[in-house]
A and B are shown apart, each in its own frame.
Chain A
Amino acid sequence: MRRTRQAFDEQLRELERRLVEMGRFVESMLGKAVKSLADQDAAAAREVIAADDTADEMDLDIEQHCMRLLALQQPMSRDLRTIGTVMKVIADVERIGDYSVDIARTAIKLEGDEYFRPLEDIPRMTEMVQQMLRDALEALVDRDLEQVARVVACDDAVDRMWYKVRDDVERVMQEQPEVVPQAVALLLVARYLERVADHTVNIAERTAYMETGRLETLAPSHRADYEAEGEG
C-alpha cells in the first residue's frame, strides 16, 4: 500500500510540476505579447500566436493526467481537492494564453502606427499581472494562504490601473477623434490585462479551496454586490 501511495504522491507532484511549467510558459507568452506591442514587432507577435498551440497542448495533457488519476486512483479528501483544483486552474491559465494571443493580434494590427503617446501603463499593468500569476501558482504549490491573500489584494491595484487607463483613453478619444481606432485597440489590451488579473484571483481562490475546503469569492470586487469607486 505504501508503494502505491508513494507512486500516487509522485503523480500528484508531477501534476503540479506540469501546471507550474504551463504557467511559466503562458506568463512568458503574455510578456512577449506586450513587448511586441510596445516594440511594434509583428514577427515577435506571430511567435506568440504560434506558441498558443503549445499552451493548448499543455492544457489537454494536464487535463488527461487529471482524468487518469481520477479514474485510476479514485482520490479522496485533499487529493481529490488537489486534482479538482488543478483541473479548474488550467482553464484559467489557458485563458491567459488566449488573452496573450489577443494582445499579439493587436500588436500586428497596430504595427507601423505611431502611438498617440508612449505605452507606459500597459507594460506596468503587465508586470503586475505577471507577478500575480507567478505568486498565485507559487501559493498553490506551497499551499500558502498568506500568498493567496497577497494575490487577491493585488487585484485592486490592477483594477485601479484599468480605471485610470480607461479614463485616459476616454479623454484622448474626445480630444483626438482621429486616434479612436488605436485608442480602442489599446483600451481592449488594458481590459485583457485586467481580466488576466481576475484569472489569477480565480487561481488563488481555488488554492484557498484546496486548503480549506471552502469555495469563496475572495476579491471584494468580484462579488455581485460590489460597487467600485472607479467603476461606472
Chain B
Amino acid sequence: MESSGANSDSVIRSEGEVKVEARGLDLFYGEFQALRGVSVAVAARRITALIGPSGCGKSSFLRCLNRMNDLIDGARVEGDVLLDGERIYDQGTDVAALRKRVGMVFQTPNPFPMSVYDNVAYGPRLHGCRGRAELDETVEKSLRGAALWDEVRDGLRKSALDLSGGQQQRLSIARVLAVEPEVLLMDEPCSALDPTATFRIEELMLELKERYTIVIVTHNMYQASRVSEYTGVFLMGELIEYGQTTQIFEMPRDQRTDDYVRGRFG
C-alpha cells in the first residue's frame, strides 16, 4: 500500500464534467498552515464526501470553495480554486454572487427568528426579488426541493423556530435553494440530527444531486459511504487520498486511509 498522498499528479480525476477544481491550494490562518497543496476536481451533479479526523482541514477546504474563509481574520489562500474553470480568488470576483452560486448548509440548523416563509424568501429578497407571486413561487419550489413543503404548507407564517431540528435543517437547505445555487456545500449537516432526520436529509441529498453539485463534510463515514460517489480523505491539511467512494471504503490505496476508515486512529 502506498502512502504518497493524493496531492501529486496521481489524483484520480472525477469522471465527466468538473464543476469545482482546487489546484495546489494552501490555506493559512496566520502562521498556521491549515491546507497543504490540495488538488482535486469535483464532479458536477455528484456527491463528493470529505472525511478525516478533527482538525484535518476538511471544513477549511469546504469554506475555501465559496470564500467563506475571507471572513476569518488572518486567513490567506494560495493556489487556485476554479468554478466552471473561472478563478474564484481573482481580484474582481463578485463574492456575493459567488456565494449565491455556491451555497452552504451548516452543522447546526440556523433558522432566522422569523416565519418559515420569510426565512426562505430572505435570500431572493436580498437579491432584489420583490414580486409577491414570484416570491410565493420561489418559496414553494424551494420548500418542495428541500422535501419540507408538505409539512409546512399550512403553517408558512409560523415561526421557523417552532420546527423540529430535522425540519429546521431542511429549511436551511430550502433557504440555500431559494437563491438557485449550482453547488451545495454541506458542513456536517446531520451531526445535530437523530437517525430519522438524518435519513431524510440523505434522501434529499440523493434527490438534489440530479441538479446540484454537492460537497459534504462529514464525521460519519457511513454517511459518506451511503450517499457519495466520490470521497476525499484529509489528514493534517493534506488530501491524502481521493477516489470513488467504493474504492476508498473497500480497498484504499493509502495506508493512512485504511487506518482511518478502520478506526485505527482519529
Interface positions of A (Cβ within 8 A of B): 1, 4-5, 8, 74-81, 212-213
- Tell whether B106 is near chain A: CB-to-CB under 8 Å: no
CB pair A76–B261 under 8 Å, yes or no, is: yes
The docked-state distance in angstroms from the alpha carbon of A74 to that of B224 is: 13
What is the distance, in angstroms, from A211's C-beta to the closest C-beta of chain B?
10
Say whether, besides A74-B222, A76-B221, A77-B258, A1 and B263 are in contact (CB < 8 Å).
yes
With A8-B263, A77-B257 given, name 20 new contacts (CB 8 A).
A1-B263, A1-B266, A5-B262, A5-B263, A5-B264, A75-B262, A76-B221, A76-B225, A76-B263, A77-B250, A77-B252, A77-B258, A77-B261, A78-B258, A79-B262, A80-B249, A81-B250, A81-B251, A212-B251, A213-B250
Residues on A with beta carbons closer than 8 Å to the beta carbon of B250: 77, 80-81, 213
The docked-state distance in angstroms from the alpha carbon of A213 to that of B1 is: 12
| B266 nearest CB neighbor, chain A only | A1
Residues on B with beta carbons closer than 8 Å to the beta carbon of A75: 262
CB pair A77–B222 under 8 Å, yes or no, is: no
CB pair B249–A77 under 8 Å, yes or no, is: yes
CB pair A76–B262 under 8 Å, yes or no, is: yes
| B251 nearest CB neighbor, chain A only | A213
Q: How many residues of B contact A (CB 8 A)?
A: 14
| B252 nearest CB neighbor, chain A only | A77
Contacts across chains A and B counted by CB atoms under 8 Å = 33
| B265 nearest CB neighbor, chain A only | A1
The docked-state distance in angstroms from the alpha carbon of A80 to that of B258 is: 11
What is the distance, in angstroms, from A5's C-beta to the closest C-beta of chain B?
5
Q: Does more than half of chain B's interface fall in helix, strand or loop, or is it mixed?
A: helix
Residues on A with beta carbons closer than 8 Å to the beta carbon of B225: 76
The docked-state distance in angstroms from the alpha carbon of A4 to that of B265 is: 12
Residues on A with beta carbons closer than 8 Å to the beta carbon of B258: 77-78
The docked-state distance in angstroms from the alpha carbon of A75 to that of B249 is: 9
The docked-state distance in angstroms from the alpha carbon of A80 to that of B221 is: 14
Residues on B with beta carbons closer than 8 Å to the beta carbon of A213: 250-251
What is the distance, in angstroms, from B89's C-beta to the closest C-beta of chain A?
35
The 7 A-B residue pairs with the shortest CB-CB distance, nearest first, are A213-B251, A76-B261, A77-B261, A76-B249, A77-B258, A5-B263, A79-B262
CB pair B263–A4 under 8 Å, yes or no, is: yes
What is the distance, in angstroms, from B52's C-beta to the closest C-beta of chain A?
14
Residues on B with beta carbons closer than 8 Å to the beta carbon of A77: 249-252, 257-258, 261-262
The docked-state distance in angstroms from the alpha carbon of A77 to that of B258 is: 6
Residues on B with beta carbons closer than 8 Å to the beta carbon of A79: 262
Residues on A with beta carbons closer than 8 Å to the beta carbon of B263: 1, 4-5, 8, 76
The docked-state distance in angstroms from the alpha carbon of A75 to that of B264 is: 12
Residues on B with beta carbons closer than 8 Å to the beta carbon of A78: 258, 262
The docked-state distance in angstroms from the alpha carbon of A212 to that of B250 is: 10
Q: Can you list 12 contacts pairing A with B, beta carbon distance less than 8 Å?
A: A1-B266, A5-B263, A5-B264, A74-B222, A75-B262, A76-B249, A76-B262, A76-B263, A77-B257, A77-B261, A81-B250, A213-B250
The docked-state distance in angstroms from the alpha carbon of A76 to that of B233 is: 14
Q: Chain B 230-266, CB within 8 Å of chain A: the 1/0 string? A: 0000000000000000000111100001100111101
What is the distance, in angstroms, from B195's C-beta to the closest C-beta of chain A?
13
Contact residues of B between 201 and 241, Cβ < 8 Å to A: 221-222, 225
The docked-state distance in angstroms from the alpha carbon of A67 to that of B258 is: 22
The docked-state distance in angstroms from the alpha carbon of A77 to that of B249 is: 5
The docked-state distance in angstroms from the alpha carbon of A5 to that of B266 is: 12
Residues on B with beta carbons closer than 8 Å to the beta carbon of A1: 263, 266
The docked-state distance in angstroms from the alpha carbon of A81 to that of B263 is: 15
Most buried by B among A8, A76, A80, A212: A76
| A8 nearest CB neighbor, chain B only | B263
Residues on B with beta carbons closer than 8 Å to the beta carbon of A5: 262-264
The docked-state distance in angstroms from the alpha carbon of A8 to that of B257 is: 18
What is the distance, in angstroms, from B243's C-beta to the closest C-beta of chain A?
12
What is the distance, in angstroms, from B255's C-beta to the closest C-beta of chain A?
10
The docked-state distance in angstroms from the alpha carbon of A8 to that of B221 is: 17
The docked-state distance in angstroms from the alpha carbon of A8 to that of B250 is: 18
The docked-state distance in angstroms from the alpha carbon of A213 to that of B253 is: 10
| B263 nearest CB neighbor, chain A only | A5
Most buried by A among B221, B222, B262: B262
What is the distance, in angstroms, from A9's C-beta to the closest C-beta of chain B?
9
The docked-state distance in angstroms from the alpha carbon of A68 to that of B264 is: 20
| A75 nearest CB neighbor, chain B only | B262
What is the distance, in angstroms, from A91's C-beta to the closest C-beta of chain B?
20
Residues on A with beta carbons closer than 8 Å to the beta carbon of B257: 77
Contact residues of B between 43 and 78, Cβ < 8 Å to A: none
